[in-house]
Amino acid sequence: MTETLTPQTKIRSNTIYRIEHEITGTINVANVHDVTFEGGTLIGGYNLTGVNNGITWADQEIQATNIGVQIRSDGSKIEFYNCDLHGGNYGTWIRPASGGYVSGLLFDGCQVHSTRDDSVYVYKAHRFTFKNGLIHHSNLNWKAPETSQKVAAGDGMQLILCDRVSIEGNTIDRSHTGNKFCIIFSGSAGSNNTPKVPDNFIQINNNTFIQPIKTNQGGAGLYFGDLPSDLITEFTFNELTGDMAGIKYTCLGTFYSNGNTYRNNSIGIEVQKTEAKGKSVSDNFVNCLHKTSNNVIVEP
């Protein structure tokens, strides 16, 4: 069944909702399954509560007044295809109820940009994939030349307690504002008393990362913190540009770098803990002050 979406529409299961041109308002979604939102422009945002499964956005512009898509529900198979999310504080703010997870969260071919805080914020997602996308103009609360992280602490992407993460074929450009990171990973499942996930991984392949503007608040390209010791991060065939650390790996676990280009970094790969395992194979360090920290094994 296909219906035209309006701000007054009550969302039902097994329905495709289409925006013909442009509408304004908040679309509330609760306890439904197999729903698609497609086409047109929504000025406002979506708010998901309860338990929702099989929710898809396709070929839609979402111009946020506060949050483009807010998911405070448990659920599975939450997918975005070729969407443009912009404006407001967050493009997406995904934080299920206490004890819950979103399982099967996918962004494919999406642009998320022009947000005052994080462009993509995700807490507790199982099987998270972001591919073929573009993130830019994050953390617009930051104003030159300096703004405290107490005011402007946004990242391109912030992932907390997410597992089986795949990030592939994207550009994440933080060159327009300062503070923080292109991506920050923290508390992956298996730490902080959360259940261990069999075959857990982080895979980051074929992306372009441009660091934030360097400020006295610090920052880096990608930051890894509070991850479990048995987690392996594979970082392959990416390009990372900027004058701060390319990779700041502050946790236990294994960081494996292969075939990447680190350009103009103060240090390409910084693994801070001696107990952690860092390895660089066939990486290209261009105009980097330091290639790696001492505890990273470097192979040609």
**What's the mean pLDDT in 170-189?**
93
Burial 30-56 (b: 16+ CB within 10 A, else e): eebeebbbbbbebebbbbbeebbbbbb
User: Hey, is 123 helix, strand or coil?
Assistant: strand
What is the average pLDDT score of the chain? 95
Angle (CA) 229-185-154 rounded to 5° is 155
Domain regions of the chain by residue span: 12-299
Structure tokens at 219: 């920052």
| pLDDT exceeds cutoff 70 at 191 | no
User: Hey, is 33 helix, strand or coil?
Assistant: strand
Q: What is the pLDDT of residue 226?
A: 85
> How is domain 12-299 classified at the CATH fold level?
Pectate Lyase C-like (2.160.20)
- Model pLDDT for residues 56-100, shown as the tens digit of each residue: 999 999 999 999 999 999 999 999 999 999 999 999 999 998 778
- Model pLDDT for residues 24-40, shown as the tens digit of each residue: 999 999 999 999 999 99
**What's the mean pLDDT in 162-190?**
92
Q: Contact, 281 vs 257, CB < 8 A? A: yes
Sign of CA dihedral 111, 231, 123, 153: negative
Q: Look at the block and give the residue holding tokens 């550009």.
A: 171
| pLDDT exceeds cutoff 70 at 195 | no
- Model pLDDT for residues 199-215, shown as the tens digit of each residue: 789 999 999 999 999 99
User: Hey, is 292 helix, strand or coil?
Assistant: strand
- Confidence band for 194, pLDDT divided at 50, 70 and 90: low
- Model pLDDT for residues 117-174, shown as the tens digit of each residue: 999 999 999 999 999 999 999 999 999 999 999 999 999 999 999 999 999 999 999 9
Q: Look at the block and give the residue holding tokens 């261990």.
A: 196
Q: What is the pLDDT of residue 252?
A: 85
193 exposed, middle or buried (CB, 10 Å; 0-12, 13-18, 19+)?
A: exposed
